[in-house]
Amino acid sequence: MSKIKCAIIGSGNIGTDLMIKIMRLSKSLEMAAMVGIDPNSDGLARAARLGVATTHEGIEGLVALDCYKDIRIVFDATSAGAHKHHNEVLQRDGKQVIDLTPAAIGPFTVPSVNLDANLDEANVNMVTCGGQATIPMVAAVNWVSKVHYGEIVASISSRSAGPGTRANIDEFTETTSHAIVAVGGAERGKAIIILNPAEPPLIMRDTVYCLTDDADQDAIRASVEDMVKTVQSYVPGYRLKQAVQFERFGNNNPLFIPEMGKSFTGLKTTVFLEVEGAAHYLPAYAGNLDIMTSAAMKTAERLVELRNWRAAA
């Protein structure tokens, strides 16, 4: 099978991990270019050693590369602010854009939930690392009983959070909250991210809270476990940290939710997750990188499969 050429904008942690993952694992994608703005970045140096075309002149440098005309897919792993300009240039030139920033110009895509829903769009958004880890759980619960309120807490090692991630904290919470609703199916969503400075670094951990009407706990548990297996098909280090927890709130002990502006009665489902990275670039504790880059690669490969592109001669 001929591979489709792609480029990555952003030579930081996420972009470099994605590059290595594509080169090692993908049967349909070929790395053509790595783009950065720091000529001394490790990502650009690694790309050059691996024989990938590089530029430290940003999107303008990418456009000037000889291989640009043959590139079909461009991953943007920079920042929400930079992505707007990048997308304008890439759309002008007819490139398929997969956005790994929280810019959310294109529709949210979480492969285990709605992989095929947006693949006719010229720009698709991969939400956030926390969103990729937790929204599948919200959706799994919602498929059994309507989620009135979904809240997620994503805890990642501060060592795995590069400058781009740190610059996007506000956008992370807003984008993930919106995606909990748009993709997860909740009526209301809230997202919290924690950068944990602990040494040695801790693995990515996520907690998901879903409030629903009283429902069949066995059905919710089975739906969650099935979803975990689906995510594991492209992120092997994704797993439940412990059994799904349930708590009922009746009229005699309602739970007040400030974000909802009212007291809740019904079933609270709590899911505890752990995401271990494949250590393609950073160590295994950086599961936040692994789930984001794995989801982006899965989406790109599905695009290639559905569109039946032919590689440039």
Q: Give the pLDDT confidence of 239-280 residue by residue, as tens digits.
A: 999 999 999 999 999 999 998 889 999 999 999 999 999 999
DSSP 195-264: EE--SSPPPEEEEEEEEESS--HHHHHHHHHHHHHHHHTT-TTEEESS--EEEEE-TTS-EEETTTTEEE
d(CA 10, CA 56) in angstroms, rounded, equals: 10
Phi and psi at residue 91, in whole multiples of 5°? -65, -40
Looking at the annotation, which residues are catalytic? 129
Is 87 in a helix, a strand, or coil? Answer: helix
Is 144 in a helix, a strand, or coil? Answer: coil
- CA terminus-to-terminus distance, the chain: 13
**Are the beta carbons of 159 and 199 closer than 8 angstroms?**
no
What band does 311 get if pLDDT is binned at 50, 70 and 90?
Answer: low
Sign of CA dihedral 61, 29, 50, 285: positive
User: How far, in whole angstroms, is CA 20 from its chain's centroid?
Assistant: 17
pLDDT for position 67: 98
**Is the model's pLDDT at 164 over the cut of 80?**
no
What band does 310 get if pLDDT is binned at 50, 70 and 90?
Answer: low
Q: Give the pLDDT confidence of 7-32 residue by residue, as tens digits.
A: 999 999 999 999 999 999 999 999 99
- Residue spans of the domains in the chain: they are 4-126+291-307, 129-284
What band does 313 get if pLDDT is binned at 50, 70 and 90?
Answer: very low
Q: Give the pLDDT confidence of 177-207 residue by residue, as tens digits.
A: 999 999 999 999 999 999 999 999 999 999 9
Fold topology of 4-126+291-307? Rossmann fold (3.40.50)
pLDDT for position 20: 98
pLDDT for position 294: 98
Radius of gyration of the chain (CA): 20
The CATH label, of 3.30.360.10, 3.40.50.2300, 3.40.1380.20, 3.40.50.920, for the domain at 129-284 is 3.30.360.10
What band does 309 get if pLDDT is binned at 50, 70 and 90?
Answer: confident
What band does 1 get if pLDDT is binned at 50, 70 and 90?
Answer: low
Any long-range contacts for 45-53 (C-beta under 8 Å, 24+ apart)? 46/16, 46/19, 46/20, 47/11, 47/16, 47/19, 50/19, 50/23, 52/19
